[in-house]
Structure 1
Amino acid sequence: MTEQALRAALLKLQGKSPLPASQFTAAQRMALDQFARQTGAVNCLRQGRGDVYSVCNQAVFDAHVTQLSPQVEPSIAEQLPLRAQHVAHARDSKARRHQHGSYYPLLKAVGGAVSWQEAERGAELALSAATRDFGAASLSIQSDDTWHSEQALWLVENQALFDRTDWLPEGTQATLLYYGGQLDGRLLSWLGHRPRASQVILFADYDGVGLSNFARLREVLGDACDFWLMPQWESKLARYGSVQLWRDTLRHFTTTVAQLPAPVRELTEQMQQLGMALEQEAVWLPAS
């Protein structure tokens, strides 16, 4: 009997006893049957063409419901953060969908006069000044806000590329956004809701995960995003590529490669031929 299935079944039955068995999933019925045998607080009787569950010992039933789900008044719960609601529901902040509603990307300006504007509130983030004074900055983004920049937006997977920016093409005026391995769904939703920058460029590891992130980005932006290939990437892949990284991310590569556009095809073909993947940090290494 799984605790999750039992909790869901008891909460369905609470205040609605008796309830047809058809209202419960197979896992919930199995949990209820075991609960009935162990506690005697619930019974299952044949009624008409189907079975019906009902509470036969309210005190025991209520004690188990409280143990599994402390709960709070619905009017109070509606005002609480999502994870607090989960604690009230199941004593576990991750019991249900547990992603926080807000997302705070870490941003850094490259070049002068890089800024972000939010027209509806007349707000502005002077990112070049914030980067100079504090090293980086952040925004609280929601998919329906109007934050945008007149400069390009580069998405980088690893912190080294965010910390040190001399790998970027000379004269770059842009925002760097560090996303740490996987593009967050809230970030993708925000990018796809409206144009956010003059150009969106992904620089990821040349492996299955990096390429799958580009495929996910293209799902929301289409041709309005690019995958950046470092200078002399062919030589660097051959010299510094990793067989182990290729193997570790091959599953992602296999499920993604057919979705990638022509400009990335030469890279994927070379990766397949060599059986190697390449990490971002190779951008600083000599090609030969």
Structure 2
Amino acid sequence: MDSTLRAALLKLHGQSTLPASQFTPAQRSALDGFARQTGAVTCQRQGRGDVYRVSDSQLFNIHLAGLSPQVEMPNTESLPLRAQHIAHARNSKARNHQHDSYYPQLKAVGDRVFWHQDENGNQLPLSQLTQNYGAASLRLQAEDSWQTSQPLWLVENQALFDRTDWLPADTQATLLYYGGQLDGRLLAWLARQPRASRVILFPDYDGVGLANVARLVALLGEACECWLMPDWQTRLERYGSHRLWQDTYREFNSVVSLLPQYLSPLTVRMCQTGLALEQEAVWLPI
């Protein structure tokens, strides 16, 4: 209700009168309730319709400032987005509250992994930073030009990021930990221009993980792939979870038709067995 009333009061702010047709039904209802409670606004018949008028400007401004401090604050557009939301609605999460930049955790596998920007010569020696500090990060924005000549692996669970002995031998690559859901800013960044020689996603084999595969493939096409762990069939049947399959079946069913053909053996077997498999099974004996 506060957001609806705030929008209505902001429309009326600075106007002598405003036709009721300028407000949504929900805003009219909020204004009518506000008028009854405060007397700061009146609704009057004028011509063929109703108009709203501020009848007590001092009281009106007090209530409006309580809902939206921004009204008397110039140049809020220059502030960070969440600061604008606090000014607008006393809530940093009002409206779209996602930050512009994305800072992923990155780790090098191998000793010759670099990221670079050709136009200004910036370079991130990821192998050296991983050796010295365990991991590193980059500020990713869709318009930047960061790229690497090695593959980029995306992993859903931290264990795969912490311990890398599951990767194919002699891998020279970057690992990026995304924590459950691929962030939209990361997807936009990957889609803007080629970032790596190959983008390889290793998700959980469940509805959520495969939904992330579908999102990535929709953007990158054949420039990306979903990695199938060795002997995945045996691992699925030995270590798969029926509960996980049930919990994520809705997501699975909504994206299975969007997945690449090479994943059909996996998705068919998941349906046949009613099982889903988590990434960490890659370490278990078969």
SS in 1 for 2:185: helix
Provide structure 2 residue ranges, at least 5 long, that are not aligned to the other structure: none
- Contact 2:65–2:71 (Cα < 8 Å) also in 1: no
Deviates more, 1:17-26 or 1:99-108: 17-26
Tell me the CA shift for residue 50 of structure 1: 2.6
> Distance in 2 between the 1:192 and 1:50 partners?
51
* 1:17 CA displacement: 3.4
Once residues 84 and 73 of structure 1 are traced to their aligned partners in structure 2, the CA distance between those partners, rounded to angstroms, is: 15
Distance 2:72 2:150 in 1: 48
Deviations 1:69-122 (A, max 9, x none): 111655431221111111111111101110011110110000111000111221
For 1:245, the equivalent position in structure 2 comes to 244
1:254 is aligned to 253
TM-score of the superposed pair, with normalisation by structure 2: 0.97
Render the CA deviation track for 1:103-142: whole Å, top value 9, x for unaligned.
Answer: 1011000011100011122100010011001101100011
**Moved beyond 3 Å, runs of 4+:** 72-76
Counterpart residue number, 2:4: 5
Q: Give a deviation string over 1:200-232, Cα, whole Å, max 9, x none.
A: 000000000000001111121112110000000
Structure 1 residues 240-249 or 174-183, which shifts more? 240-249
For residue 40 of structure 1, report the CA deviation from its aligned partner.
1.2
**Equivalents in 2 of 1:17, 1:115: separation in Å?**
62
Q: Distance in 2 between matches of 1:209 and 1:52?
A: 50
Letter in 2 for 1:45: Q
**Amino acid in the other structure paired with 2:208:** V
**Equivalences, count:** 286
Residues 45-54 or 207-216, more deviating:
45-54
Identity fraction in percent: 65
**Which residue does 1:157 correspond to in 2?**
156
- The 5 Å alignment of 1:69-148 reads 69-71=68-70, 75-148=74-147
Amino acid at match of 2:219: V
Larger mean Cα displacement after TM superposition, 20-29 or 133-142: 20-29
Q: Which amino acid aligns with 1:158?
A: N
Query: RMSD between aligned alpha carbons?
Result: 1.1
CA distance in 2, matches of 1:218, 1:17: 54
Give 1:193 shift: 0.2
Any unmatched runs of 5+ in structure 1? none
TM-score, with length taken from structure 1? 0.97
Which sits farther off after the overlay, 196-205 or 17-26?
Answer: 17-26
